[in-house]
Structure 1
Amino acid sequence: MNSKRLSYWTGFYPCTIKNIDERRSTVIDKILFGMYGLIVLAGVAWLYCWSIISNDYDSANIFFFEELKSWFHWYLFLLCFTILLLTYALTVFASGLTRLLLNQYLHLHVFHIIMIFIVLVVVIAALVLIEMFWSYEWGLIQVSFQITGPFLQLCALFVWVAFSWYIAVVLKHVQKNAVKLTIITFYSFVLVFICVIPLWFYSPCIGSNVSMHPKPLLFAHRGVAPLRPENTLLAFEKAAEYNVTGFESDVHLSLDGIPFLMHDPSLLRTTDVRDVFPDRMNDHPSSFSWSELQSLNAGKWFLKNNPFLNNHHLTETERQIIKQQKIPSLSQFAELARKYNTNIIFDLFLPPSGHPFRESTINITVKTLLNTSINQDQVFWFYSENQEVVNKLAPNFNVVYRQAFPNASRYGIDYFNLLSSDVHQETLSYGTRIIAYTVNGAWAFSRAWCQGVWAVTTDYSHVYSNTHKTLWHMTKAQFLGIWITMNIIGIFVTIVIFLYHYSKNDNTVILNGSSNMLESFRTGNYNDDFESTVIMEDIR
């Protein structure tokens, strides 16, 4: 390594490459260095969590929109911001670690000290944000380990084995046996812990029957939302191109009793209500009459906001068609499903208190469907409080329960609640077909497939219609073989590294060199032969 480049690298930690009088690192210096190490670990953990939350990418952006009333790609911004902070913290830590290896004192610049607290505030604020508004995401993160766990364990094993090189270097220069024993014990404990983690690991993708499960059927969640404006007829027509099993949507009731498609509690995000009815832009969708709803445009927002960053694929003709989209009625939705011989499933939202048709919402909705050409068995209806009325009016609707019932023929459940394998197997034993929602991430789709889920609702039907295998699956024998083999290799490499450093001649060790040589190294007044002797022997 060029001496000047090395000086720049090690100088990043104290923010100087000038020679400073030699001194020992204080306890505070060591604590600050350790804090940066913890920040790196916290940053990696947070990056993992935020990456997993990408399954709800659009939901995250919608949340911020509802709070701020303005569209921005908040998920992507926070992801990039997290990567930037992690890169910075990792650079500072690596620079400090290099100084530690070179026996240079740890003097953290005040700027880096300030950044420690900034990063801590950001991480704490992010965790509080999730806990306050997205606490259900913790379940999402928890079950993601069922798919990512084996790879995370291998990564942890690789990093910890590589870290043994640094530990071995440090041990050679520790004088007290008690300290040496403490370091070795701690390192060994962590290594053993990493090796045995798979003993408590569960994944539905491990087992001999995994490959027997058919691919989950697809319900297009609000149409193909990444390609066309959500909850428009155009979005569902696009979904039909991918041979989906059904369309999934959300239904509200207009002020004059017409069921229509809309997801949000306001029209602000997916229409031009801000321009047409500026004084009512935050009002509930059910406070608008059907004629007022039809005066709104439901496509231009998609071109303006580019919510999934996919609009560069659109042709000019497609853009013109998108600009003409209106809010569809439930009748139009059902007729479209009949046209493509597909099914429908939707969440029905009751209007606010005081709405003239609030008490008769379910009756109106059922009768609306019965007045269309769609067959009753094409309708998947979520179990409601007035289910007896629904069963009487439409006995052939497919009832989807939100909880497990032994007599249910259909079952809707949020996929990250399928954590217990016992509950899942019990549900399957009843003959229940599970519909998991909303499954967008590749890992989540693979998990649903391995679980034997019957169908999923997804924004990415255009992707998963062409997916023909899970991300991974293996038998228990294969998993055990890989796990044991990698652990043996990791432990063997660790032992070799420690033996190598233990057997080295002390006169080649950088940290035990003469004071004159060390001073020459620090000032950069050394030749290439000296550099190759010191660095290549103890850091290569």
Structure 2
Amino acid sequence: MGGGCSRCCAGWVTCCYGCRKRQSYTQKMSTKTAERVWFCVMAFTFLATLFDMFLWVSSDNDADSVNAGFWKSTGVWFPFYFTFQIISYVTFGYIMLLMIFGFLHMILSERLQLHMLHKIGVVMSLVMTITLIVFVSIRLRHLWHFVPELLQYIGPFLQLVAVTVMTLLSWFVAGGLGTLQRRGIPIRDASFWYFLVLIVLYITPIFIKSPCIMTQHHEDNPHKPLLFAHKGAEEIAPENTNISFMIALDDYEAHGIESDVRISFDGIPYVFHDEILTRTTNAIDVFPENYRQPADMFTMDELRELDAGSWFARKKPFLTAWFVSDEEKEEFSQQGILSMVEMFNIVLARKKSLLFDVRPPPSEHPYATSWLNTTIDVITKEIGLDPSEFTYWPAPNGPHYVFFIQLYDNRTIQNVYNDIAFQSVRTALENNVTTNVWTVNEAWLFQYYWCAGAGSVTTSSVHTLSGHNSLVWQLTPTHYLIMWILFDVASLIWVIVVFVIQITLHRRQGRRLTRHTSDGSAYNYQFVAMSDKPSDMYAS
């Protein structure tokens, strides 16, 4: 019964890998050199697709900014990032299945023979993967910094997974030594590279620097970072609108709002992010002749004519927008562009904090040289804040200024992008400077900067991050050292035992074959998938 099950499994594997029927042992031929080359190409493609998928997974935090960038260059609002992700997932899944079938061929002693359609699929997957990686390197270079950050966060556990995989592969590596020896390749040379990779993985933790490996104990962990809602609750409501601000502050108890302020043609600061109006308003319908001109070239009365909410349910910029109810659509359609004073009233009435960028108007604007002073005058005279209750500084990434209202938050902060190293966050904290990191949307990145000691983060995902109330993991260096050593020792013992067993089996098999051939008797032995034995060796 066991043999029948094995034959059934082997037939299924050969059908999926090579679209062919399984051959009997008397008909088997050795794996051709070309097929071995194809297996190596497939292994390289697997590593490339794995890296590509890891890149897109790690940089998912900035998916919205990528889509917005494509909108600026193409004028089309489309989930480009999600499309690239799907391509990477599909190619990786496809190549991974082929690799599994290839290894099953070896386990079941079947000849490797990849079907031509699969060969075409492997080449296409490799080309698409390399194209995506090159594209990211040229057009989306800002995504690369997420790769080392995610590696730092999950590095301790990724090392354990890698050691586990190499430990499990020891049975196949040791099992193939007999075949290599029959080809005249010394076992020492063949096993050297395996043990070299294994030793490198064993000592990798020496170089792992993770923010969640901390000297303090659990009771001394950093406090949860405060949440600034980026443009309000922008993933579940239209950005920079009254309803978006209220949902973030009332429903999810955000510490404050992070937004954008511009100045209208008649000198009134208003809340808006983009340079033109078309992405988030119905300016094309209301101003068909001049909708392409900069948003700052419209008066405040003209801006109030626009619908700044209906686009959210229509364009569906986030996955959550697909689940907007009819009642919410109606409420969104009533949202307009707010003045800066209205935003202040919403936030300060709830005794919350406010962080916003003030962006300069075009050079032909009547307030092109006085936009900053005009904004400050509105804050001090119309809103009534004392100059000691707010601070502002030039933004490091553009010509705009960053304003921080300290009426209910008197921290000294640095507002930095999410590529800042966790060591820099801790250094600033030692100098009594709190770090606010923008934009942090993914849970793992939030946990990363939580471990680093960031005082606050700006997030578009206030509805999800507000529910994170404890660190997912945290280890002291001593605990990590113990875990690392015990795991590596267990792996090494397992590998040594496996090699001893396999070498013993090969020696017994060799003595048995020598004894059978010396007395002229016929013999059969199981076909080894990667061997070079001719087909007549398997005949009775």
3-state SS, counterpart of residue 346 of structure 1: strand
* 1:229 to partner: Cα distance: 0.9
8 A contact 1:266–1:284 mirrored in 2: yes
C-alpha distance in 2 between matches for 1:255 and 1:353 = 12
Deviation at 1:473, TM superposition (A): 0.7
Residue 225 of structure 2 corresponds to residue 202 of structure 1: no
CA contact (8 A) 1:346 1:382 kept: no
Identity of aligned residues (%): 27
Q: What's the CA shift for 1:337? A: 1.2
User: Displacement, 1:60?
Assistant: 2.4
What amino acid is aligned across from residue 458 of structure 2 in structure 1? Answer: T
Q: TM-score, normalised by structure 1?
A: 0.85
Choose which of 6, 9, 16 in structure 1 pairs with 2:10.
6
Query: What is residue 362 of structure 1 aligned with on the other side?
Result: 372
- Provide the rounded CA distance (Å) in 1 between the counterparts of 2:188 and 2:205: 27
Contact 1:334 1:374 in 2 (8 A): no
SS where residue 361 of structure 2 aligns?
A: coil
Match of 2:98 in 1: 92
Match among 175, 183, 187 for residue 180 of structure 1: 187
Give the aligned partner of residue 381 of structure 1.
392
Asked if residue 170 in structure 1 is aligned to residue 170 in structure 2, the reply is no
| 5+ long unaligned stretches in structure 2 | 517-521, 530-540
CA contact 1:297–1:323 (8 Å) conserved in 2: yes
Aligned residue type for 2:131:
A
State the distance in 1 between where 2:199 and 2:233 align: 47
Could you tell me how far apart the structure 1 residues matched to 2:105 and 2:370 are? 73
Deviations 1:162-214 (A, max 9, x none): 11121122112222564422221000010011111110111121123264222
Deviations 1:447-493 (A, max 9, x none): 21111111111112222333211121111111111111111111122
Structure-2 separation of matches of 1:76 and 1:123: 15
Bigger shift: residues 194-203 or 121-130: 121-130
C-alpha contact 2:261 2:357 (8 A) present in aligned 1:
yes
Q: Alignment partner of 1:207: what SS?
A: coil
After TM superposition, list the pairs within 5 Å mapping 1:243-322 onto structure 2: 243-311=253-321, 314-322=324-332
Gaps of 5+ in 1: 400-407, 522-540
Q: Is the 8 A contact 1:345 1:380 kept in 2?
A: no
What is the SS of the residue equivalent to 2:306? coil
Tell me how far 1:247 sits from its aligned partner: 0.6
Higher relative contact order (CA 8 A, sep 6+): 2
Is the alpha carbon distance of 1:359 and 1:466 closer, same or farther for their aligned partners in structure 2, counting shifts above 3 Å? same
Question: Contact 2:353–2:405 (CA<8 Å) still a contact in 1?
Answer: no
Q: In the alignment, which of 412, 415, 420 is matched to residue 418 of structure 2? A: 415
Distance in 2 separating the partners of 1:57 and 1:378: 35
- Asked if 2 retains the 8 angstrom alpha-carbon contact of 1:442 and 1:471, the reply is no
* Kept after mapping to 1: 8 A contact 2:13/2:105: no
- Using structure 2 for the length normalisation, give the TM-score: 0.85
Q: 224, 232, 243: which is aligned to 2:233? A: 224
The CA distance in 2 between the partners of 1:9 and 1:374, in whole Å, is 76
Aligned partner of 1:123: which letter?
T
Q: How far apart are residue 50 of structure 1 and its match?
A: 0.9
Counterpart selection for 2:74 from 68, 71, 77: 68
Q: Any idea what SS the aligned residue of 2:238 has?
A: coil
* Residue aligned with 2:258, SS: strand
Residue 403 of structure 1 corresponds to: none
- How far residue 99 of structure 1 moved from its aligned partner, in angstroms, is 2.7
The alpha-carbon distance between structure 1 residues 190 and 66, as it changes in their structure 2 partners (threshold 3 A), is same
Q: Corresponding residue for 2:356? A: 346
- Deviation at 1:156? 0.8
Counterpart for residue 449 of structure 2: 448
- After superposition, where does 1:327-338 map in structure 2 within 5 Å? 327-338=337-348
Alpha carbons of structure 1 residues 162 and 279: separation in structure 2 relative to 1, 3 Å: farther
Secondary structure in 2 aligned to 1:328? Answer: coil
**Partner of 1:458 in structure 2?**
459
**CA shift in 2, pair 1:384/1:459, >3 Å:** closer
CA drift of 1:97 comes to 2.6
More divergent stretch after superposition (460-469 vs 48-57): 460-469
Q: Distance in 2 between matches of 1:164 and 1:282?
A: 64
Closer, same or farther in 2 for the Cα pair 1:249/1:506, shift >3 Å? Answer: same
More displaced stretch, 348-357 vs 1-10:
1-10
Greater Cα shift, 153-162 or 94-103? 94-103
Q: Relative to structure 1, is the Cα distance of residues 131 and 266 closer, same or farther in structure 2, using a 3 angstrom cutoff?
A: farther
Amino acid at match of 2:295: P
1:508 to 1:239, Cα distance in 2 relative to 1, 3 A: farther
| 1:500 maps onto 2:501 in alignment | yes
Q: Which moved more, 1:315-324 or 1:500-509?
A: 500-509
Residue matched to 2:243:
234
Matched residues in 1 for 2:20 and 2:293: separation?
A: 58
Displacement of 1:37: 0.8
1:440 maps to a residue whose letter is: N
SS at match of 1:457: strand
Q: What are the superposed Cα offsets for residues 394-417 of structure 1, whole Å, 9 maximum, x if unpaired?
A: 9x9659xxxxxxxx9321112321
Task: Determine the C-alpha separation between the residues in 1 that align with 2:406 and 2:265.
Answer: 28
User: Shift of the alpha carbon at 1:88?
Assistant: 0.9
Q: Structure 1: how far apart are the matches of 2:357 and 2:474?
A: 33
Q: CA deviation at 1:345?
A: 0.9
Q: 1:147 aligns to what?
A: 153
| 1:167–1:334 CA distance, 2 compared to 1 (3 A) | same
Offset at residue 302 of structure 1 (A) = 0.9
Aligned length: 501
- Could you tell me how far 1:223 is from its partner in structure 2? 0.4
